[in-house]
Amino acid sequence: MREMNRSQHFIRKYFSGISLSTVIHIAAIIIFFWLVFSPVIGLIAEAIRTSLSGSSDLISPFNLSGRRIGLLFSSISLATLVATAGILVGTLVATFLWRKFRSFAPVILLLLLALAGIPPYIHALTWLDVFAAIHAYFPLFPVSGWLPSAWVDLMALLPIAIFLCWVAFASVDVRLIEAARVFRPDMTVFYRIILPLAAPALGAAFGFLFLICCTDYSVPSLFGADIYALDIFARFSATGSATQAFLYAVPLLLVTIIVIFLSRSGIRTLAQTPNWLSDRWGNPPVFPWYYRLLQGIAAGIVILQILVLFSGLILSTSTLGTFFGSVFRSSDELVYTLLIAASVILVSLPLAIAVAGEMKKPGIRGSFAWCIALAPLAIPAPLIGIGMITFWNNPSLAAVYPGILMPVFAAVARFAPFAAIILYVQMRFIDPAFFEAAEIFSRSPWKKWSRVRLPLLAPGLLVSAGILATLSLAELGATLIVAPPGHTTMTIRIYNYIHYGASGEVAGLCLAITLLTLAAGICAIAALQWLYRRSGNMVFYCGSDGE
Amino acid sequence: MYGTHWTVQDISFVIPDRARIAILGPSGSGKTTILRLIAGLEVPDRGTITFDGRIVSDSCVVAPPYERSLGFVFQSSALWPHMTVLQNILFPVDNLSDKTILLQIQGMMERMGIAHLKDRYPDQISGGEARRVALARALAPEPNTLLFDEPLTNIDHSLREGLLGLISETLRTSKSRMVYVTHDEHEARTLADTIIHLENGRIVGTETQEIHR
């Protein structure tokens, strides 16, 4: 009897205040953690198992051969070069937009952002033709190797670089800029006030570009440039051993984790920048001629990139018949790809809402949520694929392995953190009083969600859905490993075709993927504009959330 | 102009040398816009702004803010967080190799009671100290015109009276003309010899008064 009282007391003390929505919230975080980290958990467990059985050596990651050091150095150099160039060009174009297109800047920026989702291998395809044409006139011009690879990586990342630089500059309090403009020329203000204050966010933008470049092998592989991420995939293909591939990847993982760690406060700054779409410059800045010249060159590079992309694809596809023929012949892959994208959205969004809510929390809970949102960005795509196989290729989980689930889970593991960060941004600008009022005036959790939370979160959800769709359509590194026999995505099909040389078929499929990506991007943009149009009277709240 | 609505219109006034003008009006009356137009932080849709006979803003010319010889005290202080107090104050000064200027600034900081803060960063000083530093920064380049955008808003009463006294004392020894924007009549009457009343973007009255200089 006394025992029963004690257990009743325990339940009343610790569980009486727990509502159904809290249980769902906690379950969503656990599922997010489980899905996003299952590849890493699988790989670590496998490494320990094989080590205990004596078939692998856990010290091996630290025995760096000359070749591995060379590959690591090449990967870091390539990523540093691309990220540095991206920040330089991004800075010049962002400040060009300040000066020239102040009221149109947000629209131009958002259109550029729609281009950001186009897979890098499509850029590679279009630039291959340009390089070949230049090589025909100037034989010394390289058509393969590091330089073409770095250039194409830069071109692929340019829209996101410009966007991140713009947001980084928007993170600087405009009052601090104006206070300096009263006393000093705009160029001095730029160097001494804007750049130092934007430095953490620019650093995060650099880190973000570095991570994408360092962990993606699709472009370097097409230009014959060997990088560490590609070698992880090659090692797994050669040995079939997940543990060897994982241990081989550890040095690269250490580099990417360090970059994430150094960028974390800047990423928060970028995510917390309010109303970066608004034009806050009363009087446009005046830059000296040499800076205007550099801005013009940077803007010219962006225009060139857009021209090469679309003219290359349209000219290679040549006719509408070729375009529709290639799409029709790949209709199975197209349907499979669209199903994956839709499933990724459906699985990721509810989980991302829960994690975004945690990211807003002060103290250790918020920090932990930020960790689980940012850490996956450090994992190279092939390693996620290898880890997925290791974790899910288990007799008790046999139902998961075939069909659509593995590519969906791989994409969720890679991209759900992005959705969490976007929803965090959205939640941060919603006045908490809206939710508190809903708690007071409604008892039904369903009513609170359907009538208050979902409508307020809708713009963020739509933006996240657009970005998840865009990224899922382009996913290659992990899907290439986990795609079950008999199923191929559009991206894998195109990637395989590109290796046999560009043709009308490939260009037609690339054009289809580009149009799909742009459609998803434009939907996201429309949602974003909706968000900002509503912001004046409804969703904007720039108060503290306890951080 | 904001949308289809004129923020300020038909505004015309002259600020003589060493004049102390206060623009007094409720929130949204356009007083900060006038200050920003004078500073060159906004460009007027039409009209002319002249500084000492030189046109700084009309349909053809817009002189950048730093060419207008201004000091500006912002409502939020707007101290640059990556610079120390001394670096903030020295930022507007052109000739840092001139020892006389540096000594003058040092003297000014001592008079304002902020000399001991020179190596601190803005997040290491109080709100009242930040306002003093912002005032010192505005005065450091010895500007022809001093602009104040509600510098005493959002601070408690006793601190406000102290700062009002400091501004009044500083203006007494300064050769600059002043434009002081506020919604507080007490501040306007303490500091200004001319008070311009503003409502809905228009001047609705002007009064002059004797102040002790």
Residue of B nearest to A287 (CA): B64
Find, among A521, A434, A535, A536, the residue nearest to A160 by Cα: A521
Angle between helices A490-499 and A454-474 (to 10 degrees): 30
Residue of A nearest to B79 (CA): A176
Note the pLDDT tens digit of each residue in A232-256: 888 888 888 888 888 888 889 899 9
CA-based nearest distance B203→chain A, Å: 23
Asked whether A531 and A539 are in contact (CB, 8 A), the reply is: yes
3-class SS of residue B196: strand
pLDDT < 70 regions, chain A: 1-18, 55-58, 60-62, 101-103, 271-282, 397, 400-401, 500-503, 528-547
3-class SS of residue A144: coil
Q: In terms of C-beta density within 10 A (0-12 exposed, 13-18 middle, 19 or more buried), how is residue A257 classed?
A: middle
Give percent of chain A above pLDDT 90.
Answer: 24
Tell me the ipTM for this assembly.
Answer: 0.87
| Bridge partner residues of B208 (DSSP) | B194
- The pTM of the full predicted model, rounded to 2 decimals, is 0.82
HSE-CB for B207 with a 13 A CA cutoff = 10
| Chain B interface disruption, residue of A99, A182, A184, A287, most B CBs within 10 A | A182
Element (H, E) at A182: none
DSSP character at residue B122: G
Element (H, E) at B204: strand B202-208
> Which chain B residues are closer than 8 Å to A280 by Cβ?
none
Q: What residues in chain A have their Cβ under 8 A from chain B's Cβ atoms?
A: 173, 175-176, 178-186, 192-193, 196-197, 282-283, 286
Note the pLDDT tens digit of each residue in B140-194: 988 999 999 998 887 788 888 888 888 888 888 888 899 999 999 999 998 998 9
3-class SS of residue B146: strand
Asked whether A320 and A510 are in contact (CB, 8 A), the reply is: no
> Which chain B residues are closer than 8 Å to A175 by Cβ?
74, 76, 78
CA-based nearest distance A170→chain B, Å: 16
> Which chain A residues are closer than 8 Å to B70 by Cβ?
182-183
For residue A151, the model assigns a pLDDT of 95
CB contact under 8 A, B78 and A176: yes
Domain ranges of chain B: 1-69+143-213, 84-142
For residue A302, the model assigns a pLDDT of 93
Alpha carbons A125 and B101: distance in angstroms, whole number: 62
Note the pLDDT tens digit of each residue in B58-88: 877 888 888 888 999 998 889 999 999 999 9
Find, among A495, A524, A522, the residue nearest to A333 by Cα: A495
Which superfamily is assigned to B1-69+143-213 in CATH? P-loop containing nucleotide triphosphate hydrolases (3.40.50.300)
> Which chain A residues are closer than 8 Å to B71 by Cβ?
182
For residue A413, the model assigns a pLDDT of 92
CA-based nearest distance B41→chain A, Å: 5
For residue A1, the model assigns a pLDDT of 46
Alpha carbons A499 and A533: distance in angstroms, whole number: 45
* Whether B74 contacts chain A with CB within 8 A: yes
**H helices within A195-330, ranges in order?**
195-215, 218-222, 228-239, 242-271, 289-317, 320-329
CB contact under 8 A, A180 and B62: no
| Chain A interface disruption, residue of B7, B61, B82, most A CBs within 10 A | B82
Alpha carbons A462 and A344: distance in angstroms, whole number: 13
Query: What's the length of chain B?
Result: 213
Task: Count CB neighbours of A266 within 10 A.
Answer: 23
CB contact under 8 A, A192 and B76: no
Alpha carbons A390 and A38: distance in angstroms, whole number: 9
Q: Which domains does chain A have, with CATH numbers?
A: 59-279+286-317 (1.10.3720.10), 321-547 (1.10.3720.10)
* Option in B36, B43, B91 nearest A183 (CB): B91
* Whether B154 contacts chain A with CB within 8 A: no
3-class SS of residue A159: helix
* Option in A186, A192, A283 nearest B62 (CB): A283
CB contact under 8 A, B42 and A282: yes
**In the predicted structure, residue B121 carries a pLDDT above the cut 60:** yes
